[in-house]
Amino acid sequence: MLTVHHLGISQSERIVWLCEELEIPYELKVYERDPVTRLAPADYKALHPVGTAPIITDGDVVLPESGAIIEYIIGKYGNGRLAVAPGAKNFADYLFWFHFANASMMPRQSVRMGQPAAGEETPRARFMRERSEKAWDLVEARLGEAAYFAGDELTAADIMWGFTLTTMRYWAPVDISGKRNILAYLQKIGARPAYQRAMAKGDPGMTPMLT
């Protein structure tokens, strides 16, 4: 039985959303963060040496890492749904945006955590902030030319981006009030029944950050 081990307010919300979009059977185990450290509890860390979310188990398989999990589930249980085939004209777009979410955008947002105010920042902090802002501008431009990250239809690339554009801002606040295309996209994502089910199951006490 496929089991999604969901750590509250974490990247594992992606996997819950994916399973809901694919409408596949799965077991959901929700873990609460340590109330003092806000880190994963010991029983979550014990699942795999990396000790971070997301993690799935499937029989003898114990698999961490968002992208790997999404490809595993789509390949084994989704019959390729939400992926883009190599022969499709938007295959390269799909690959780029699928990987850019965690490989580039997430690290650029992570460095914002605990950063000083703009007037106090070091040259390195300024460089990292500007690099982060360029990534947000790139996303805003993409969502102005396409309905979804890979093109006209929702794909796993959007599943990867959901957390990055929403719940990640809980940890690394960023003002997106001027990002009209991103905001419109988030409203579209937030209206999806599968997304609503996923958030209600995984983080029922948290209002999704769609604005």
Range(s) of the chain covered by CATH 3.40.30.10: 2-82+196-202
- Per the DSSP assignment, residues forming a β-bridge with 30 are 6
The pTM score is 0.93
Range(s) of the chain covered by CATH 1.20.1050.10: 91-192
Q: Does domain 91-192 have CATH number 3.30.465.10?
A: no
- Per the DSSP assignment, residues forming a β-bridge with 56 are 4, 63
Average pLDDT over residues 167-186: 96
Average pLDDT over residues 37-45: 95
65-109 pLDDT tens trace: 999 999 999 999 999 999 999 999 999 999 999 999 999 999 888
**Distances from the Cα of 142 to the Cαs of 35, 67, 85, in angstroms?**
38, 21, 21
Q: Specify the CATH architecture of the domain 2-82+196-202.
A: 3-Layer(aba) Sandwich (3.40)
